[in-house]
Structure 1
Amino acid sequence: MSRSLQQSVAAARVVEQPLAGRTALVTGGSRGLGREIAIAFAAAGADVAVVSRKKDACARLAEELAAATGRRVSAHAAHVGDWDGLGTMLDEVERELGPVDVLVNNAGIAPVYPSLDQVDEALFDKVFAVNVKGPFRLLALVGARMAAAGGGAMLNISSMGSRRPTAGDLPYTAAKSALNTLTAGFAQEYGPSVRVNTILAGPFATDISKSWDPDVVAAMARDWPAKRVGEPEEIVGAALYLCGPQASYTTGALLAVDGGRLAAP
């Protein structure tokens, strides 16, 4: 049955504060894409737990963001690859802010290596620990609590490289491919009350991009529809949509935010 015009207008107005009354946890939240997502979520009405390995950086952002938005913003130190530590961190977040309604698995690492035959076991295990094991653990812990509480939204930040892997980033892109698979599985496990989606992020001008050769990037970007790398704040619209009320029928989805990189030759 279609809704009335008045109902549609009322629903559209929710977009002004799409996360009002929600509590969001953002890993890798002190810089880069995670920082922009944390800022946008607080501006959208959410209380936000900023999580990264460096609590000082989280605390600085939390203080500034709370002052700017009037929301409760907490800072938490956690290594995403620490299986047991994630449960401790989640309990700490809930003590300070209450149950988590929105989870963003943003933390990730992509170490450089000279060649595939020189990738050692330690590097491989570290990449999978941060990009797959940690997100799996948080999706399981948070998802179970969300489902018991009546629902929520979980968002993974993956990479368009999971669809276009190269020899230069293979452990990372393999891990992100696994993260895409987790999205489908957890969407099935905790649906219908908990939605699970993923953003396939393209090249963004974050701290990681400082090591890129600008001439190489410029040459590559000529083939992309957007003709450039993205600015960190350009991830925000997709994150707010996927974690907000207007995406109520969107789950198990992989949304590319990559300047058209996946559409390029």
Structure 2
Amino acid sequence: MNDAPTPDPLFDVAGKVVLITGGSRGLGRAMSLGFADRGASVVVSSRKYDACHALAEEINARGGESFPRACHVGDWRQLDGLIDDVIERYGRLDVLINNAGMSPIAPSLLETSEALVDKIIDINFKGPLRLTALAATTMAATGGGSIINISSLASRRPTPVTTAYSAAKAGLNALTQASAQEYAAVNVRVNAIICGTFDTDTTAGFVRNPDILTSVVEPIALHRIGRPDEVVGAAFYLASAASSYTTGSFITIDGGVAP
């Protein structure tokens, strides 16, 4: 794959079937490309088929294996079909990365509408909950697997402008630990990556704004915003044999935000 070096057997993901929600852009795109370049079969999923298809074509053109599958993870009714289609194509699912999410900023708690709360909960918590159950059940039938939840520093350091989002991601953290306990007996590990601020389309409004960038990076020890590809190594670890004794755990990638 693109003349990539032979991976360390401990971190080898070649041959694994990896489903990444929100996989067509941002952190999801970086992980989709990273896993595909190292020999995994990657199912790129997001709400927009065209975006999934474009990335899958890019992956296939560079010698990888990818399958585009549109799915709105906030719609419970679509999730069974997503897992079914992965199994129909590949016969198994080894890694699920619950990456899809949304983080709108509300002007105040009073002005946060019920519709917005429902949308935030559906995408950041309810969808991952259902997909975790479906994927773990499927993985159990083929010897086990790994589920990786992409959480946020906001889950541990909530602010008034991200109240609902922070609460949803805190729920995702609780889901991580509880489902790790439930599925350990069938060799399905569940872990989470707690992400700080990364330069993605979602965060472009402030990370690419020179007027506020200084205040954004000030509490970060490395004094910069993260690149999307800098989450990939942690995902490899959690998806591979290197993390065989790791479940119910959290890896924080935030550049060293001051406590």
Partner of 1:248: 244
Residue deviations 1:155-187 (CA, integer Å, cap 9, x gap): 000001111000011110110000000001111
Q: Secondary structure at the match of 2:138?
A: helix
Give unmatched runs, 5+ long, in structure 1: 1-11
Q: Secondary structure at the match of 1:109?
A: coil
Give unmatched runs, 5+ long, in structure 2: 1-6
Q: How many Å separate the matches in 2 of 1:23 and 1:32?
A: 20
Cα deviation for residue 38 of structure 1 reads 0.7
Partner of 1:229: 225
Structure 1 contact 110–172 (Cα < 8 Å) conserved: yes
Check if 1:209 corresponds to 2:203: yes
Partner of 1:3: none
Letter in 2 for 1:194: V
Structure 1 contact 103–153 (Cα < 8 Å) conserved: yes
Q: How many Å separate the matches in 2 of 1:30 and 1:98?
A: 23
Q: How many Å separate the matches in 2 of 1:117 and 1:214?
A: 31
Deviates more, 1:146-155 or 1:212-221: 212-221
Partner of 2:42: 48
2:31 pairs with one of 20, 34, 37: 37
Q: Over aligned residues, Cα RMSD in angstroms?
A: 1.3
Structure 1 contact 25–48 (Cα < 8 Å) conserved: yes
1:14 pairs with one of 3, 9, 14: 9
Check if 1:121 corresponds to 2:114: yes
Structure 1 contact 218–228 (Cα < 8 Å) conserved: no
Q: How many Å separate the matches in 2 of 1:66 and 1:94?
A: 20
Cα deviation for residue 223 of structure 1 reads 2.4
Q: How many Å separate the matches in 2 of 1:151 and 1:195?
A: 8
Residue deviations 1:188-208 (CA, integer Å, cap 9, x gap): 111141111000000000001
Cα deviation for residue 71 of structure 1 reads 3.0
Cα deviation for residue 76 of structure 1 reads 0.5
Partner of 1:102: 95
Q: How many Å separate the matches in 2 of 1:62 and 1:120?
A: 36
- Equivalent positions of 1:67-106 (< 5 A) are 67-68=61-62, 70-106=63-99
1:128–1:214 Cα change, 3 Å: farther
1:140–1:30 Cα change, 3 Å: same
Structure 2 contact 13–240 (Cα < 8 Å) conserved: yes
Check if 1:218 corresponds to 2:218: no
Letter in 1 for 2:183: Y
What TM-score results when the alignment is normalised by the length of structure 1?
Answer: 0.91
Q: How many Å separate the matches in 2 of 1:215 and 1:235?
A: 26
Structure 1 contact 158–180 (Cα < 8 Å) conserved: yes
- Equivalent positions of 1:152-191 (< 5 A) are 152-191=145-184
Q: How many Å separate the matches in 1 of 2:24 and 2:8?
A: 30
Cα deviation for residue 148 of structure 1 reads 2.2
Structure 1 contact 136–182 (Cα < 8 Å) conserved: yes
Structure 2 contact 220–254 (Cα < 8 Å) conserved: no
Partner of 1:111: 104
Residue identity (%): 49
Q: Secondary structure at the match of 2:173?
A: helix
Letter in 2 for 1:43: D
What TM-score results when the alignment is normalised by the length of structure 2?
Answer: 0.93
Cα deviation for residue 15 of structure 1 reads 4.4
Partner of 1:57: 51
Cα deviation for residue 215 of structure 1 reads 3.0
Q: How many Å separate the matches in 2 of 1:39 and 1:96?
A: 20
Letter in 2 for 1:35: R
Greater fraction helix: 1
